[in-house]
Amino acid sequence: MSSEKINHEVSVEEQGSTSIIEDHEALTSMKGLDKAFEFLDGKTISYTAEEEKAVLKRIDWHVMPLLFLLYLIQFADKTSLSYASLMGIRIDTHTDVGQRYSWVSSIFYAGYIFFEFPTTYFLTKLPIGKFLTFNILAWGIVITCSCAASNYASLLVLRFLLGMFECSITPGVVLIISIWYKRSEQGKRLGILLAANGCATILISPVAFGLSYITGAAIASWKILFLIFGSVTIVLGTFFFFYFPDNQLSAKFLSEEEKVIAIDRIRTNFQGVGSKSWKWYQFREAFQDPRTYLYMLYSLLMNIPNGGVTTFGSIIINSFGFDSQHSLLLSMPGGAVDIIFKLCIPALSDKLMDKSLPAAIAIAFPMIGGIMMSTLDVDRKGPLLVGYYFISAAGASWGLVMSMIGASSLGSTKKSVVNTCQIVCYAAGNWVGPQLWLTREAPVYPTGKKLVGIFYGCALGTLLVIRFVNIRENRRRDKLQAEGKIPPPPENAEFLDLTDFEQLNMRYII
């Protein structure tokens, strides 16, 4: 593979208007170019497939472990309230009255929504590794302080702050995966990272189970849980500060030659490592793209039931007739289901280069699980548990949609905006979800269980619409290319920070 210095006419779109750049000096002086363009400019690139594999292996060993730990600890911190609910926190903080517990869960996502759009700007303008480090340390401090919560108001404030600081993680990780890996590699790796949620469930359940037996201690068992999680989070944030690179250019574990390979290999993504310029025309284009609204609708529909199940998970199992302590332990198989689906479905997606169909298959399982929970008799504990465990497959579907955004929404600003819109709907869904589990319907919660199947079914339908839109657009572009109406792309056009609307040679992953 080779790349030479750009010295011919290049057509680019800047601030929404097309201009012709006739010489290399003018091109390199443009504002908002991807950092990859500046780095590769003038370099002659040549490497073998074996050298590329060696670089990919180094990236995997240095980037993936820290991201996996990040997702594991984030999920543990986020779901700690569910475990604490059966360890006395509702009584100790007086949140066992009316819908208070549901609001304590929902307020987390109010913080998420409040800070998500500022986060979009910061992810574009600031070094991503350092920005994530700040947020990890901040939410670790908040989790640690949660052990001091003594009433409804203090718990609301702490959960709101936790949502503010955690809201950067998912869009940040999607951006990181999109700049380090090819489109054919992203689904599998994002699936591996999301599988950390299942690992967290398997690890946390026995910890919570053991802590629930602590009685007569100086502090309540749920406070010990928050102290443990908060301390581990702060340690992880410290590691991130020293060891996690912002992109290939700042990666200390890569030599200069390896950095060239690491960047050049992702040109098939039609993007580079990102531009630090905020481009308003890309912001506007994000809202002109119908996919943006479909991603938002899917995320909202999928996360309304997710919010309820995440908050009431242990309580749902308890409603099947199990005691509180064993309900904590019985969460573990759901973690195993989560891991299996997040490893297998994204791997299948990468192999097929198809994301919407595997995502639809994955979301069908929680839809069936919701139907089972709402229709089976309460004395059929085994099948009810199976239905509950099926819900854990939903995360694999959502991961593929995030991967779809990372691979298909091009342009640094546009990608950040589309991703943020989807995350806002994720937060809105999780905010609304717990409110559908009505206190007056305890302990069975028939309305909440019924809506699980309905919303997951609607999310499945949305995926099929996304698939139709992408297939239709790809066929339109194929026709234009066959008619000779799409000019060949200029060399290194992938690194000009252009959008998917501007790069007609690019095809959407279905």
Report d(CA 251, CA 34) in Å as an integer. 17
Q: State the pTM of this model.
A: 0.77
What interhelical angle do 152-166 and 128-145 show, nearest 10? 170
72 or 437, which is more confident?
72
Q: Are 80 and 226 in contact (CB under 8 A)?
A: yes
pLDDT in tens, 159-172: 999 999 998 988 88
Q: Would you state the structure tokens that stand for residue 22, as one six-digit string?
A: 């006739």
Residue ranges in 167-218 assigned as alpha helix (H): 169-180, 183-211
Q: What percentage of residues in the chain have a pLDDT greater than 90?
A: 36
Asked if 14 and 30 touch (Cβ cutoff 8 Å), the reply is yes
The pLDDT tens digits of the residues spanning 17-38 come to 333 334 444 444 455 566 766 7
d(CA 111, CA 103): 12
Cβ atoms within 10 Å, residue 103 = 18
Tokens of 292: 């943006």
Q: Are 128 and 172 in contact (CB under 8 A)?
A: yes
pLDDT in tens, 240-272: 999 999 888 889 999 989 988 998 888 877 776
HSE-CB at 56 with a 13 A cutoff on CA atoms is 15
- pLDDT tens column, 298-333: 999 999 998 888 778 777 888 888 877 777 778 788
The answer to which of 151-160, 209-218, 274-283 has the lowest mean pLDDT is 209-218
What's the CA dihedral at 417, 422, 428, 429 to 10 degrees?
180
Residue 235 has pLDDT above 70, yes or no: yes
pLDDT over 80 at 213, yes or no:
no
Do the Cβ atoms of 420 and 123 come closer than 8 Å?
Answer: no
What is the token pair recorded at 497?
Answer: 């920070």
In contact, 451 and 436? CB cutoff 8 Å = yes
> Among residues of the chain, what percentage have pLDDT more than 70?
90
Alpha carbon distance 508, 320 (integer Å):
44
Residue 309 backbone class (left: φ over 0; alpha: ψ -120 to 50; beta: rest): alpha
pLDDT beyond 60 at 48 = yes
Q: Which two tokens stand for residue 475?
A: 């066929």
Q: Which fold has domain 49-495?
A: Growth Hormone; Chain: A; (1.20.1250)
| Residues whose CB falls within 8 Å of the CB of residue 351, separated by 6 or more in sequence, listed in order | none
